[in-house]
Amino acid sequence: LNLRFVKGTPDARITIKPAPGMEATTVLRGDGQNILRLHGCEYVDILGLNVYGEVEKISINTAKKLQFAYRDLRDGEDPTVTLFRIDKSYKKYTDIENLNLSEEELAPLKDIEPVFKSGEIARPSYTDTRGIYISHSYKITVQNCEVHHMPGGG
């Protein structure tokens, strides 16, 4: 659910909540970058939502394959399918499906901080979903919500 520039007023706030009688069965789910995203919103109340991530559906095998995988944001390619791994020399490892590395071989892949901070790479959303993400917004209330089972940043 992506809300952009939704604006209430101090006297007429916008409320997002389950319909009456549906509180126990209303669940927001997703495996994208954000399940509930607010950007540029004002005077919005988010009440009583159950935001449920997909972490239970990610197998150990898939998690290990994607453990050090990133999306390349530098070129015009579709960043959702350009997965690679990074080592200290910034080499790309594109054969993610068949990459069988020992712990020794994996160690250099963990040091990606310089490239990560450059803004040129990002985690795949499948392993880094945020439940409720709010940016550039004003007077937002999040109350009595449960956000759980989020992979990555949560």
Residues 144 and 115 grouped into a single domain = no
Residue 153: inside a domain: no
Q: Is pLDDT of 123 > 70?
A: no
Residues 122 and 135 grouped into a single domain = no
Q: Which structural domain range is residue 68 located in?
A: 59-126
Q: Is pLDDT of 116 > 70?
A: no
Q: Is pLDDT of 73 > 90?
A: no
Residues 21 and 42 grouped into a single domain = yes
Residues 85 and 38 grouped into a single domain = no
**Residue reference for tokens 């999040």:** 142
Residues 45 and 77 grouped into a single domain = no
Is residue 152 very low, low, confident or very high in pLDDT (cuts 50, 70, 90)? Answer: low
| Distance separating alpha carbons of residues 98 and 23, to the nearest angstrom | 44
Q: Residue 68, class by beta-carbon neighbours within 10 Å (0-12 exposed, 13-18 middle, 19+ buried)? A: buried
Residue 141: inside a domain: yes
Q: Cα-flanking dihedrals φ and ψ of residue 133, to 5°?
A: -125, 125
- For the stretch 83-115, pLDDT in tens is 555 544 444 444 444 455 566 655 555 544 544
Residue 154: inside a domain: no
Q: Is pLDDT of 7 > 80?
A: yes
Residues 108 and 137 grouped into a single domain = no
pTM: 0.62
Domain count, the chain: 2
Residues 64 and 121 grouped into a single domain = yes
**Is 145 in contact with 51 (CB distance < 8 Å)?**
yes
Higher-confidence residue of 101 and 41: namely 41
- For the stretch 43-66, pLDDT in tens is 999 999 999 887 887 777 766 666
